[in-house]
Structure formats: C-alpha cells, structure tokens
Amino acid sequence: MGIAETVAQVKSGAVKADFLFEQKLALIASRYTEIHAFNHVMADEARAAAVAVDEAVARGDDPGPLAGVTVALKDNMCTRGVPTTCSSKILEGWRPPYDGTVVSTLKTSGAIAIGKTNLDEFAMGSSTENSAFGPTRNPLDTNRVPGGSSGGSAASVAAGFSDVALGSDTGGSIRQPAALCGVVGVKPTYGYVSRYGLVAFASSLDQIGPFTTSVADAALMLDVIGGHDPLDSTSIPQAHPSLVDVLGQGVEGLRIGRITDLPEGADPDVQERLEVAFDALRAQGATIVDVQVPAFTFGLTAYYLIAPAEASSNLARYDGVRYGLRVEAADTNAMYGATREAGFGDEVKRRIMLGTYALSAGYYDAYYGKALKVRRLIHDDFDRAYQQADVLLTPTSPSVAFEIGSKGDNPLAMYLCDTYTIPTNLAGHPGMSVPYGTGAHGLPVGVQVLAGTLQEPTMFRVAASLERSLA
C-alpha cells in the first residue's frame, strides 16, 4: 500500500493511525537486534502523534498530507528533546532544544516520526559500519551491509519498519544504500529541501532526501518537505512544481544520455541491468544519446579533498565545552585532545586530519584550491551534457551489497563505492536511485537517474517509467 492510500484511509477513518503505528512498532521489536536500523525508537512520541492524528480525523479536521505515515529519521536530524547522536560518542547525551525544519514539517503534515536511524558516524562512510553503536545489517541478507551513510534509514524502509525514511546525501549517502537495499532513494537539487537542523558534515554538499518503496511515494514526500526555508541561507527561494503530477507523463520524446567516458568499475551484473534500463526507455519512446562528461572521473579525488576540508571546520565545534562528551584533563588544551580522541571514531579522525592538511598553509592552493577548480569543471561538463540529453543514466553502486567486514581494512575500496554518486553532489544537481532487478546472489541493483538543476520533474518522469517497465 502506497503512502497516498495510507493517508486516504486514515483521513476517511477506515483505519486508525495508532493501529498502523503499533503494527510498525511490533515489527521493529521482532527484528530490532537483528537489523539494528535504529539508534532510538521514539515509541512514546510516535504514539502520541498517532493518537493526535486520529483525534483530528474524529473532529473533522484535516490532519495533513502525510496523515498516519510512519517516518524514520536519520540520526543527524535535530529532534527536540530526543537524543541526536550522529552515531558518535562525542554527542553522548545531547538532546536538541529545537526541531530541524524537515522534522517540523513532518509533524505538521501528520506524519509519525517513529525513530532515529543508525548511520556511519557523522555520515562518513558507505556501509554503516562506522557507527559508534555497531553496524546496521541489510534486511535482505543480514551478512551484508545496507550501504551508507544512511544505512539505517534504507534498512528501515526495506524491512518495513517505517513507510518512508529520511536520509542525508553528501556523496551518495541516500542513493547508494537505496540501491543496496532495493528501495527508491532521492537526492534533490542542492537547496531543494531545507538543511536547517541537519548536523553538518560538508555544508556545500549535504542534502536531505527520502527513501521509499516506490517512485510515487518519493514524489509525494518531496512535494511535502521541499520548498523555501528562510532559516536556511542555501534554500532555493522559489516554489517547486508538483512531482506527483508528472509521474504519468512517460518518456516519449525525451533524450536519455549514456555517458561514454564513465569510469569503469561496475560489476557485470550491474552493467547488464543498466543496459536493460536503456532498452526499456527506448521501447517507451525515448531516444538514447551518447554524451561525455570528462571530469566525472575526477569526482572521487575532488570530493575527498573538499568534503574532509569542510568536515574539519564543521567538526571543530565538538570540543567538550558546550555539549556532548567531555573527558576531564589537566588543562583546557589537554581536555580538547582527550575529548576528541575518545569521542571520534577512526574514519572521522581520518577525514578531519585529511581536511585539516588540505586547508593548511602551504597546501591550500595545491589541494583544496585545485579541488574547487575540478568541481567547477565537473559542473560545466554536466551542463554541456544536459544540452544534449534530458537525463543521464548510470549505475548507482558498482556492485550489489557486499559482506560486512569485507572492506573495513581498505578505506580506498570503501570510497570507490561512491564513484557514480559523488559527481552529482559536487555539481549540486539532483539524482535518484531506482531499484531495477537483481544481480549477483539475487540482491538488488539500482539504476541512477541524473538531471540538471531543478529538473526533478523530468527525473521523476524517467524514474516512474523505469519502475513501470518492471511491473
């Protein structure tokens, strides 16, 4: 049942929001330890929200466009009075005094926030193995990762723990886990959804987006949470057209771009599903065109200078003084060092050091400055490609879900998981992963649909057509 149907049934009184919530809560309890999708289940808060929706319906009031829909929130989104940890020991005991904008929007829309999901610490990772609270497991095969960094959110939707979930995408952290868990994941245009209340990793790259079981559900979620927010200086100051309204328009006459100089590395089973996707769109009236994005191949290199540099600045605030973990020491400087040593995990420390080095005197121009120039090249190459094609199709992940522990000792191998997702973040463009059949071991394969700035309507038309081709 899609979330539009859920909303219709709740609003009509045919089913109670509280009943739907209790069903989800029971399912979470049955697999809580096995999957470890959540850091914190908001049982009391969610039950109260569900009862409020039912009371609004009984009064004849409109409970909102997401009435009764259960939503899991990545644990880097501020929720007032609820632990928000970013899966890091350094935020131990912190309960935000305010809600992030997306959290507030969900509350007023009648959605039921059911819990805070596990993630790679401070959203740094591609497998959700970097959490201070232990890894999340893929519900489809618990010996394998769910992807990352939003692995808990992807697993929640894949396991049926929540109708939908929200994640954040800095270099693929929504799309890659969506592909590995067989769900839909969307990174909208930078500024499409407010980042106010999202704990920052890399501020020029972070973007919030949904995980859902269908393209239609993703469209409805973005229609609700998207839009201008004066509390976010990077929020796009204009209204967005309805994405739900375009889903049935098909792809007749659209140009679908095949990137001929795409970096190699995708497994044969993944590449095969991509070719099937091209064939399906061609059969529905689209034209397949060859394009080049020469700077695509430099995305990984530029990202791992820009993102750590911004992270080293953003994470400087976690010093044991104002909130979170504090390790007592002989003097203030010793306390800073001891707190950060105990509070941050290995991957976060690695990226802080890398970013600090890239920004240091004597190396700024050689590393960070040059990476910014490469970022501009990537943006410009994409713009030229979108003059020839309306959307581009690539693999989302180079492989299906891999086994837990198989890449933990090789950071570069883990970073390569984001080869196909990172360039879109650097350009600020939208992208989404659509589950498109299975590959090795019967595990899901995701096809990535990319589009230009604010071209979400076209992107969703293509995604919906891909989804229908499998029906």
Which tokens sit at 148?
């990352």
Partner residues linked to 268 by β-bridges: none
What is the DSSP secondary-structure string of 199-212? PPSSTTT--EEEEE
- Give the type of residue at 436: Y
The DSSP code sequence of 128-195 is S---TT----BTTBTTB---SSSHHHHHHHHHTSSSEEEEE-SSSTTHHHHHHHTSEEEE--TTSB--
- Catalytic residue (one of 109, 173, 214, 433): 173
CA distance 21 to 378: 44
83 Cβ contact list (under 8 Å, min separation 6): 39, 40, 93, 94, 95, 116
Answer left, alpha or beta for residue 11, where phi above 0 means left and psi between -120 and 50 means alpha.
Answer: alpha
Query: Closest Cα to residue 128, out of 362, 416, 401?
Result: 401
Q: How would DSSP label each residue in 257-287?
A: EEETTPPS---HHHHHHHHHHHHHHHHTT-E
CB atoms within 10 A of CB 285: 12
**How are strands ordered across the β-sheet holding 391-395?**
38-41, 112-117, 70-74, 164-168, 208-212, 184-187, 431-438, 444-451, 391-395, 255-259, 287-291
Could you confirm whether 149 is annotated as catalytic? yes
Instruction: Tell which phi-psi region holds residue 195, choosing left (phi > 0), alpha (psi between -120 and 50) or beta.
Output: alpha
Looking up tokens 């949470």 gives 225
Select which of 87, 88, 109, 149 is catalytic: 149
Which tokens belong to 37? 């999708």
Of 74, 107, 187, 407, the catalytic one is 74
* C-alpha–C-alpha distance, residues 237 and 233, integer Å: 9
| Residues across the chain | 471
Catalytic site includes residue 173? yes
Active site residues: 74, 149, 173
